[in-house]
Structures are given as structure tokens and as C-alpha cells.
């Protein structure tokens, strides 16, 4: 409760300071346009709880990577395994790390090997136009894995077909304790019909001392993108990005004392889009290709598990209007996934889908959205996925409701983990016979704009999940495949758990206010309560992994050339212990970061000093993966 009190004090000071000033004509929180349903529409029309953030507004925050930024957004729980983007699991509404879908410019990023890599977003922070967090089921639009929610990332170069960005070049250098040295360079040029951008960012540190190793990381992302506008309303965009990570992975996946692991994950991301504006709509054609190699050493002298995956996506969709108040999108998608692995073996599968999305403005303040999608897969066959969303928006309030189905197929790790080894004496065992997860979701909530600067959202939701995939302790006698196993081994088998019911409440606050000619404040605050239960007397990993209470916040106060920024999180969950490695997940923890910035009069130069984990809290999001204590850094940034 002390932690909740601290957070409440910080948030209360931010909001009370801002609201006590006179109202202004700033339109910073007017009803905004989102594209989470493949068509630009106002947020109030969607019938969904969507949180939007423009990273330009959050440049001053004490965060070091995109996944750290997500951690402080309302309704998102990011479970960190390591600092500054080493590895994170994204959780929304209690979904496991593979039940949140990450989309970049309309193309699925989620890795077919494991959801642990979904937070490896190969885009320079300066290239991100906005991030839309759609909370709740979206499988009727996007298919598998859109169960807990969708992280929809729109980039400036791909969005330039609708809005030409300004020319810019920027650089940033950060140095600090544990030999920390981070560098970032980004540039963008806009011509009459061509926009080109490129960037590289790298985070490096020796890290704090761990058991027999250090918490080092060397993480680099580089990307280049181009958009060209042709005559006759044709446009083409292309991006190629590389993401290279080498980091300490001690106890990321085990609680063994002998674990001194390190891991390398290198991936390439390529995306080509062609669009055509017609008299009645827009036609989009996408081709995406992701190639990833994951090498994992349990000990530096051991032979690594070597996993190589490929994922190719081709999709075509057309958006048009039946009448002035009635719009639709129809589309089709084909995916090909492959893996070649020393641990999981060699496998591949085909996947296809067709979908239709309809939007109706029944009156000036009543909106209806329906979606229907048919997915066909080599593993689980055919699944029909419906969704319906309703919104009533009279004046400053929007009342919304949504109901629909969502599903998820097992990844290659859940199906084939430890399948190709000569002998397995313990650990997680994959299961090729897994069925697809299935869930039905209902929610209702409201949004309120008390002014153009202050916005509140609240949602209550329920998800009934069947065939949920979970790792379950299973004796040798209960293993469906006993080849290469030993009778005395301790195993966890990937199984379809019968049923899990999750109920939750979300409350979000956003404030963006100019206080006077010299000062302004931007702040977000989110609270999520979750309750998951099933009829199994032995709680599953799914139930025990997500937090029951999450309170996260961020705030930036600007005064003339100075800004003071903070971000933080309070989390309450089930406690766990692993005495062998002296590891513990505490019942709760509170982490707060702070950053002080000074900007030159020309706004082209900035100096800053930052403290991560200011209170030096000892904590872990996952058992055995201990996060660093207080970490001091500073640096400078130049923008031209």
C-alpha cells in the first residue's frame, strides 16, 4: 500500500497542478483518428478502447527503448527479462506473451519461433509517427494472436502518402554506470515526390555483476525506408531493417544454478507496399519478409541451440464506401512460416485468410462496426471469427460495447521445444498435437473528454478462454511422446488447458495542457485489475504469470528551457521463489525513473541526466531474471 500511496502522490500532483489553471484553447486531446481497424476513423467511432501515443510528445521521458516506453502506457504490462530492450514480454488484459499482436505499417511482426522476440521492434524511435494500443480481441481483423490486444505502429515514411514530414537529422549520445554507452542517429529527407529516412540506434553496457557473469547487452537496430508518390494516385513504400542483439540471458528460461546463459538474436525485416487511390476507395498490396536467427548458449562453453526462422506475408485489401455513412474493407492474406533448428527440428506451414470489415454511421452519434474473418491453417484447419462493436457518442461522452471471438495457434517452441535433442533429462517439452486456442470476449466502457486537454477512459471486460496453451508439470508416464526422455526427469508439457476465465477493469487518464506561456504538462495514468481463474486445483502458468494490479504512469513538466520527466509502475502479483538460485518474485514492487532535460534557446541542442530505478528497488518480472538497481546516466541530443 505504501507503493500505491507514492504513485498516487506523484500522479495527484501532476493532475492537480494542471487542472487548477484556467482552461486554454489547446486542441491536444480532441477526438483523434486511428487506423487499428485498417481504415482511418475517429476513435469515438470504433467502439473500442484504444490508447494512442505520439513518441514526439514523450521524447523527454526516462526510457531507453521502445519496449520500455510501452511499459508505462496505460493498460500494458511489459515483463522485462533484461534492461534496455534485451528481452521483454508484452501483456495486455492478462494475455500471455504470444497473445498480443505487434503490427508495423499493417504487417504482422510476431515471430513464429516464440513470443519472447515480439518486442524487438526494428524501427528507430524517431521514425515512429504514432503507436496505437488496441486493448482486447482483434482476431476478426488481424487473425491469430490478436487476443489480449494489438500494438499498432505507424511509421512516418510509410504514412507520408497522406502527410509529408519535415526534413530532419538528429543525434543522441548517452553514457552512464556499468560502462553504458548508447548512440542514436536518425535522418529524413522529403522531396517533391520522394521521402527517404534512415536511422541507427545502439544500446551497450557491461551491466551489473550477476552469478558468474555480468548483465551485459549489445543491442543495435538499423533501418532505411523510402516512399515515392507516382502519378495517377499510385504510391510505393519500402523498408529494410536489421535488428542485432547480444545479451546476458542468465535464468531467462530456467531456474538452474548452472545457468550462465547468453543469447544472440539477429533478424531482418523487409516490407514493400503499393497503394492506389481510386475514385471510391484505396487499394493496398503488401509483401513482407522476416528472417531471424536465434543462438542460445546455456553456458559459454556449451554448444548453442541454433534456431533459424523465415516468415513471408502477402496481403491485398481494398477500402471503399457503399454510401456516405457506410464503409467497408475486404482483404485476403497468405503466410508461410519455416523453422530450421538444432533443438526443434525442421518444419513449415502455410496459412491463408479472407476478411470483411463494415463500418456504419447510423446517425450523427451512433456507430456500428462488424468484422468477419475466415482463417485456414495446416495445423488447426478452418476458423471463422466474428466481431461487432458499437459506439454512442453524444457530446463529450462515448459509450461503447464490443463482442467477438479471438484465437491463437501454437508457435514453433510450443509445438517442438526439445524435440530434436538426443536426450532430454528435464525442462519444457513441445507438443505437436496442440489445438488452436479459442476465446469469446465481451466488453463495455466509456470515454469522456472533460476538456480538450483532459481525457478519461474506463472499460470492464470478460474473456472465456478454451484450449488455452500452457506449460503444465507432467510426469514421464503422462508424456504423449517418451522418446529421448528419462523416467526420472522433471518435465513441463505444452498442453491445451480446458478453460480459463479472465475478468478485468481498465481506467486510463490522459492530460496534455499548456499552463501558461512558459510551461506545459503531459501526463498519463493507467490502472488495470485482473482476475483469472479455472477449475484446475493446480494453478496454471497463465494465471500465475500476469499481475493482478498494475498502475503505470508517465509525466513531463516543461518550464521554459527545462523539463522534468518521470515514469513509473506499481505491480502486484503472485509471489514465487526459487531457493536454488536465491531468486524471488515479490508480492509487489514499485519502480520510478526520473529525467531532467535542458534545451537550448534554438531548440536544437539538449542536455539531460537520468536515473533509472531511482529508489533502487530490488525486483524481477520473471523468476530468476533480476533487474538492475539504480542506474545513473546522462548525455546530449542535437536536432537540425
pLDDT tens profile 310-339 = 999 999 999 999 888 899 999 999 999 999
Q: Residue 272 falls within a domain, yes or no?
A: yes
Distance (Å, rounded) from C-alpha 221 to C-alpha 66?
A: 11
Cβ-Cβ contacts under 8 Å for 377 (sequence gap 6 or more): 144, 349, 350, 351, 352, 383, 409, 436
**CA 481 to chain CA centroid, nearest Å:** 35
CATH number at residue 242: 2.40.170.20
Indicate the helix (H) or strand (E) that contains 6.
helix 2-19
CA distance 555 to 60: 9
Q: Which three cell numbers stand for residue 601?
A: 534557446
Q: What is the pLDDT of residue 58?
A: 65
Residue 599 lies in a domain: no
Question: Which residues, listed in sequence order, are joined to residue 404 by a DSSP beta bridge?
Answer: 387, 441
Closest Cα to residue 267, out of 123, 365, 151?
A: 123
pLDDT in tens, 218-274: 999 999 999 999 988 999 999 999 999 999 999 998 888 999 999 999 999 999 999
Query: Which residue in 367, 328, 364, 333 sits closest to 350, CA to CA?
Result: 333
| Residue 400, in any domain of the structure | yes
Three-class secondary structure of residue 620 per DSSP: strand
Please tell me the pTM assigned to this model. Answer: 0.91
User: Does 357 fall in a domain?
Assistant: yes
The phi, psi pair for 514, rounded to 5°, reads -90, 120
pLDDT in tens, 445-478: 999 988 888 999 999 999 999 998 988 888 999 8
C-alpha cell at 443: 466488453
Q: Within a domain: residue 159?
A: yes
pLDDT score for 233: 92
**pLDDT score of 516:** 92
| Confidence category of residue 18, pLDDT binned at 50, 70, 90 | very low
Q: For position 32, what pLDDT does the model report?
A: 65
Residue 305 pairs in a beta bridge with: 296
- Spatial distance between the Cα atoms of 235 and 160, rounded to a whole number of angstroms: 10
Q: Lowest-confidence range among 38-47, 322-331, 586-595? A: 38-47
Beta partners for 576?
A: 585
Q: How far apart are CA 628 and CA 613, in angstroms?
A: 8
- State the residue for C-alpha cell 489480449: 148
pLDDT at 472: 85
- DSSP run (H or E) holding 159: helix 156-159
C-alpha cell of residue 272: 514493400
Q: Is the pLDDT of residue 600 over 50?
A: yes
For the chain, what is the radius of gyration of the CA atoms? 24
Res. 11: pLDDT tops 50: no
Query: Three-class SS of residue 514?
Result: strand
> Which of the listed ranges 63-67, 426-430, 631-635 does the model predict with the highest average pLDDT?
631-635
| Helix or strand (DSSP H, E) at 116 | none
What is the bridge-based pairing of β-strands 424-429 and 485-514? parallel
Is there a domain that residue 201 lies in? no
The reply to whether 584 falls in a domain is no
Per the structure, the complete domain to which residue 141 belongs is given by 2-166+217-555
Domain total of the chain: 1
Q: What is the per-residue pLDDT for 33? A: 65
Q: Residue 19 domain-assigned?
A: yes
Of all helices (H) and strands (E), which one includes residue 187?
strand 180-190
- Tell me the torsion sign for CA atoms 271, 276, 277, 279: negative
Average confidence (pLDDT) over 1-28? 37
Q: What's the pLDDT tens digit per position in 410-429?
A: 999 999 999 888 899 888 89
Grid coordinates belonging to 495: 498442453
Amino acid at each position: 500500500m505504501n507503493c500505491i500511496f507514492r504513485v498516487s502522490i506523484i500522479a495527484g500532483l501532476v493532475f492537480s497542478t494542471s487542472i487548477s489553471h484556467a482552461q486554454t484553447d489547446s486542441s491536444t486531446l480532441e477526438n483523434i483518428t486511428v487506423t487499428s481497424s485498417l481504415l482511418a476513423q475517429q476513435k469515438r467511432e470504433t467502439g473500442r478502447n484504444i490508447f494512442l501515443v505520439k513518441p514526439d510528445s514523450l521524447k523527454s521521458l526516462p526510457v531507453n527503448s521502445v519496449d520500455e516506453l510501452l511499459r508505462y502506457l496505460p493498460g500494458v504490462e511489459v515483463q522485462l527479462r533484461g534492461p534496455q530492450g534485451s528481452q521483454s514480454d508484452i501483456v495486455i488484459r492478462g494475455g500471455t506473451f504470444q497473445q498480443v499482436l505487434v503490427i508495423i505499417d499493417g504487417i504482422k511482426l510476431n515471430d513464429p519461433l516464440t513470443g519472447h522476440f515480439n518486442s524487438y521492434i526494428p524501427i528507430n524511435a524517431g521514425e515512429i509517427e504514432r503507436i496505437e494500443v488496441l486493448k482486447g480481441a482483434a482476431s476478426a481483423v488481424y487473425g491469430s494472436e490478436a487476443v489480449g490486444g494489438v500494438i499498432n505502429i505507424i511509421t512516418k515514411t510509410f504514412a507520408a502518402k497522406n502527410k509529408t514530414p519535415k526534413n530532419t537529422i538528429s543525434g543522441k549520445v548517452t553514457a552512464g554506470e556499468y560502462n553504458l554507452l548508447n548512440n542514436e542517429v536518425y535522418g529524413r529527407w522529403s522531396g517533391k515526390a520522394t521521402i527517404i529516412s534512415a536511422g541507427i540506434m545502439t544500446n551497450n553496457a557491461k551491466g551489473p555483476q550477476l552469478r558468474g557473469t555480468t548483465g551485459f547487452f549489445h543491442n543495435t537496430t538499423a533501418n532505411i525506408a523510402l516512399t515515392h508518390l507516382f502519378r495517377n494516385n499510385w504510391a510505393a513504400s519500402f523498408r529494410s531493417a536489421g535488428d542485432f542483439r547480444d545479451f546476458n540471458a542468465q535464468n531467462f528460461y530456467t531456474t538452474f544454478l548452472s545457468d550462465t546463459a547468453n543469447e544472440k538474436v539477429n533478424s531482418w525485416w523487409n516490407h514493400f507496399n503499393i497503394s492506389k487511390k481510386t475514385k471510391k476507395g484505396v487499394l493496398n498490396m503488401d509483401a513482407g519478409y522476416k528472417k531471424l536467427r536465434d543462438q542460445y548458449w546455456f553456458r559459454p562453453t556449451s554448444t548453442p541451440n541454433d534456431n533459424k526462422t523465415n516468415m513471408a506475408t502477402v496481403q491485398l485489401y481494398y477500402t471503399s464506401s457503399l454510401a456516405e455513412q457506410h464503409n467497408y474493407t475486404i482483404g485476403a492474406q497468405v503466410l508461410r512460416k519455416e523453422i530450421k533448428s538444432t533443438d526443434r527440428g525442421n518444419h513449415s506451414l502455410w496459412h491463408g485468410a479472407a476478411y470483411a470489415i463494415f463500418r456504419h454511421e447510423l446517425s450523427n452519434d451512433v456507430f456500428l462496426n462488424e468484422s468477419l474473418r475466415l482463417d485456414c491453417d495446416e495445423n488447426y484447419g478452418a476458423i471463422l471469427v466474428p466481431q461487432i462493436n458499437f459506439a454512442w457518442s453524444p457530446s463529450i461522452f462515448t459509450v461503447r460495447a464490443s463482442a467477438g471471438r479471438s484465437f491463437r495457434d501454437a508457435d514453433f517452441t510450443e509445438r517442438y521445444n526439445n524435440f530434436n535433442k538426443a536426450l532430454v533429462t528435464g525442462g519444457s517439452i513441445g507438443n505437436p498435437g496442440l489445438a488452436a486456442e479459442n476465446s469469446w470476449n465481451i466488453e463495455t466502457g466509456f470515454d469522456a473528454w472533460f476538456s480538450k486537454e483532459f481525457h478519461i477512459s474506463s472499460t470492464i471486460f470478460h474473456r472465456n478462454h478454451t484450449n488455452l496453451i500452457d506449460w503444465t508439470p507432467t510426469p514421464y508416464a503422462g508424456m504423449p511422446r517418451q522418446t529421448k526422455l528419462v523416467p526420472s526427469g522433471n518435465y513441463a508439457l505444452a498442453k491445451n488447458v480446458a478453460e480459463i476465465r479472465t475478468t478485468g477493469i481498465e481506467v486510463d487518464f490522459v492530460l496534455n495542457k499548456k499552463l501558461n506561456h512558459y510551461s506545459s504538462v503531459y501526463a498519463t495514468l493507467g490502472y488495470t485489475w485482473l482476475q483469472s481463474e479455472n477449475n484446475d486445483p493446480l494453478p496454471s502458468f497463465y494465471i500465475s504469470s500476469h499481475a493482478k494490479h498494475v498502475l503505470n504512469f508517465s509525466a513531463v513538466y516543461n518550464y521554459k528551457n527545462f523539463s522534468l520527466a518521470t515514469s513509473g509502475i506499481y505491480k502486484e502479483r503472485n509471489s514465487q521463489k526459487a531457493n536454488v538460485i536465491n531468486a524471488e518474485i515479490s508480492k509487489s514492487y514499485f519502480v520510478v525513473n526520473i529525467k531532467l532535460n535542458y534545451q537550448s534557446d534554438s531548440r536544437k541542442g539538449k542536455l539531460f541526466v537520468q536515473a533509472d530505478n531511482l529508489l533502487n528497488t530490488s525486483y524481477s518480472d520473471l523468476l530468476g531474471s533480476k533487474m538492475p538497481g539504480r542506474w545513473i546516466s546522462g548525455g546530449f541530443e542535437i536536432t537540425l
